[in-house]
Amino acid sequence: MVVGSNSISQNNKRIAKNTFFLYIRTFLIMLVSLYTSRVVLRVLGVEDFGIYNVVGGIVAMLNIIVNTLSRASTRFITFALGKGDEEELKQVFSTVICVHLLLAGLLVLVGETVGLWFVCNKLVIPAERMTAALWVYHSSILIAVITFVNIPYNALIIAHERMGAFAYISIIEVFLKLLVAWALIYTAQDKLIAYAVLLFVVQLLIRIVYGYYCSTHFPECKVKLVWNVQWVKKIFAYVGWTLNGSFAIVGYTQGINILLNLFFGPVVNAARAIAIQVEAAVVTFVQNFQTAVRPQIVKSYAVSDMLYMHKLIMMSSKYGFFLMLLIVLPLTLCINPILKIWLEDVPEYTAGFVRIMFAVALLWPLRGAMIDAIHATGDIKRFQIYEGTFLLLTVPIAYLALKFYHISPEMVMCIYLFVELLTQGIRIWIVLSKISISYRCYFREVLYPIGISSLFAFIPLFLIRMTENEEFSKVVLYMAASFFYALMCILIFGMKRTERIWAFNYIKKLV
């Protein structure tokens, strides 16, 4: 079945509308989050900030099923919605809820036994802060459980492409976190404990909001919980193979975090936490675009419209990369003065970590498109085996380099970048053959334009060096100049003539 031109036009308009909502959400969240991070870092101090991130990060190791079920839930719900089978959609959603409740209990069991032992016996935490660290840990487990139970509701909103609601609820969440940061300034209690408990309260409130919205807008959300054995088997079979990739996520995120803690202490964890937060902020811009596109990729595959699916995948890869380049280049050029203005007291290694994470961020659009494509097919066994195996190399390689060659923290992050590059090549190799896109076509439409554009765009990084003491006006000038320079490189080297004409006409229309 091939979707008609009118339907494609409506889909494109829906993607544009949803992307707009998500970008408004991102802009507000980023501004508030950056300010919140500054307040929290100043109030908690570098050591407590590092403790929060390394202890709270342990829960992410227990959260591997959360990440797995999130994509599984979205895929099954969106696929059923794309087929237009209301009865199947009700059964899928009901089963997904039951599975999440069951596994949330498993998460608590593992977290309060193995995870608790690891925090008490293996992490490098000052003895006088252990009580506060345990408060952080237990609060983080409760937050993980709430997030776990909330996944099917998020998946339902995304599948129905109600990104406006998704944006509004996220904005409420980030402003509540801002209130938490302000409350820390005035509390007389232990600030690290207060921070952990208040974040739990925020997540509980947001969970109630999501549940209310879904129950009042989507009929399938009101069905009774049913343990459908057939769908449970399908979901668990899907989850079983995705677990390999989820363990890999632990390896190249929290595994590195733990290694840095063991070899360098919590202060380096604070620097990496800031770098991860900056990366998350810029990556969100592209994730928003790809979140708006993802339901259409799954639905087009569900109705066997492969041409439209191919177009969406290559478009989200190429233009997602260009969008990331426009953000990353100015920030990389001016990162030292930006960190100084933002944080005032910048932890050691932060600037180097941020630059490396920006390089990783440039891979996110290509990575996201491949993952969306393979999950749309549902045949993820081979993909997960290869991707997970390669990503898991990060931790043992970093550990051996730290133990025998005493490498710096920056070199640990460079190992992470190298493994990500290698794994992206594996993703492209597997996915393109699976969805019948030729390698030559992908190179011509995606890799060549982004490669030649990047080659010219990054020239200023080798010519200009900015210190942390640069004047604010100079920073703004250099960022603006590098943004427009990167834009010109994209227009000249990265876009076809027809694409440039469309872009210029669109700009004229806006003016």
Predicted local confidence at residue 71, as pLDDT: 66
Structure-token pair, residue 284: 């969100």
Predicted local confidence at residue 13, as pLDDT: 61
CA dist list (Å): 302 to 11, 50, 324, 352, 383? 15, 45, 29, 44, 20
Contact 361, 283 (CB under 8 A): yes
Predicted local confidence at residue 61, as pLDDT: 57
By C-alpha distance, which of 420, 64, 130, 394 is closest to 266?
A: 130
Predicted local confidence at residue 1, as pLDDT: 47
Q: Which residues contact 257 (CB under 8 A, 6 or more apart)?
A: 53, 54, 57, 269, 272
Query: What gap in Å lies between CA 328 and CA 346, rounded to an integer?
Result: 20
Q: Which amino acid is at 349?
A: Y
Query: What gap in Å lies between CA 168 and CA 281, rounded to an integer?
Result: 18
Structure-token pair, residue 123: 């992490």
| Residue 372: how many other CB atoms lie within 10 Å | 27
Structure-token pair, residue 157: 């909103």
Contact 75, 376 (CB under 8 A): yes
Query: What gap in Å lies between CA 466 and CA 461, rounded to an integer?
Result: 10
Query: What gap in Å lies between CA 184 and CA 43, rounded to an integer?
Result: 7
Question: Does the predicted model carry a pTM greater than 0.75?
Answer: no
Query: What gap in Å lies between CA 342 and CA 197, rounded to an integer?
Result: 26
Place of tokens 């390698």: 439
- What are the pLDDT tens digits along the chain (511 aa)? 444 555 555 655 666 666 666 666 666 766 776 676 677 777 777 777 777 777 766 555 555 556 566 667 777 777 777 777 777 788 888 888 887 788 788 878 888 888 888 878 877 778 888 888 888 888 888 888 888 888 888 878 877 778 777 778 878 888 888 888 888 888 878 888 888 888 889 889 988 998 888 888 888 777 666 677 777 777 777 776 776 666 677 666 778 888 888 898 877 888 888 888 788 778 877 777 777 777 788 878 877 888 989 998 998 899 889 989 988 999 988 888 888 888 877 888 898 999 999 999 999 999 989 988 988 887 888 888 888 888 888 889 999 999 998 899 999 999 999 999 999 999 999 999 999 899 999 999 999 999 999 999 988 777 777 777 778 888 888 889 989 999 999 988 998 888 888 777 766 765 6
Query: What gap in Å lies between CA 354 and CA 201, rounded to an integer?
Result: 30
